[in-house]
Chain A
Amino acid sequence: MKDIFLHLFAGEYLIGREEGSRAFALIDRDLFQKYPEEKFFFNVNGVKVLAPSFCDEVFGELQIKYPGRLFIDCKISEGLKSSFDVIEETRNIKFDYTNHFGGKSTGNG
Chain B
Amino acid sequence: MFEPDYQRVLSIPRVKCDSLVLNFAQATFLNAFEINELFFQVINLPDWSQIRIENHNQCSEYLCRINFFSQLSNIRGITNETTESPHAGLNDGLTELSIYKHKPEFYGDQERINTVLSGLGLSKDIIIKVANSLSEIVDNAFSHNLGQWSLQTGPLVSLIAQKYKYSNKSCLLFSICDFGGGFRNSLLANYPDLKDEKEAINSAIQPNLTGRPQRKGGNGLFYLQRETFNGFKGSLIIRSGNTISKVEKKLKTTPLNEKLPFNYGSNVFFSLQLL
Residues in chain A within 8 A of chain B (CB atoms): 12-13, 15-18, 48-53, 56-57, 77-80, 82-83, 86-87, 89-90
How many A-B residue pairs have C-beta atoms within 8 angstroms? Tell me: 85
Does B110 lie within 8 Å of A48, measured CB to CB?
yes
Q: Which 8 A-B pairs have the closest CB atoms?
A: A79-B128, A79-B125, A13-B110, A52-B219, A90-B207, A51-B135, A15-B135, A78-B125
Does B110 lie within 8 Å of A77, measured CB to CB?
no
* Bound Cα distance from A87 to B208, whole angstroms: 10
Does B219 lie within 8 Å of A87, measured CB to CB?
yes
- Most chain B CB within a 10 A radius of its CB, from A50, A53, A79, A89: A53
Does B128 lie within 8 Å of A53, measured CB to CB?
no
Evaluate whether A82 and B135 lie within 8 angstroms (CB atoms) in the complex, with A15-B107, A90-B208 already known. Answer: no
Evaluate whether A52 and B136 lie within 8 angstroms (CB atoms) in the complex, with A17-B216, A87-B219, A90-B208 already known. Answer: yes
Does A49 lie within 8 Å of B135, measured CB to CB?
yes
Q: Mark B213-232, 1 if CB is under 8 A from A, else 0.
A: 00011111011001100000
- A57 — which chain B residues lie within 8 A by C-beta? 216
> Could you tell me which residues of chain B, from 100 to 138, have a CB within 8 Å of some CB in chain A?
103, 107, 110-111, 114, 124-129, 131-132, 135-136
* Bound Cα distance from A53 to B126, whole angstroms: 18
Residues in chain B within 8 A of chain A (CB atoms): 103, 107, 110-111, 114, 124-129, 131-132, 135-136, 139-140, 143, 207-208, 212, 216-220, 222-223, 226-227
Does B132 lie within 8 Å of A83, measured CB to CB?
yes
Does B110 lie within 8 Å of A56, measured CB to CB?
no
Residue on B with the closest CB to A14? Answer: B135
Shortest Cβ distance from residue B161 to the other chain A in the assembled complex, whole angstroms = 15
Q: Select one of B111, B114, B129 contacting A82, CB under 8 A.
A: B129
Residue on B with the closest CB to A61? Answer: B216
Does A83 lie within 8 Å of B110, measured CB to CB?
no
Q: Select one of A17, A51, A90 contacting B132, CB under 8 A.
A: A51
- B131 — which chain A residues lie within 8 A by C-beta? 48-49
Evaluate whether A86 and B125 lie within 8 angstroms (CB atoms) in the complex, with A15-B110, A15-B139, A52-B132 already known. Answer: no
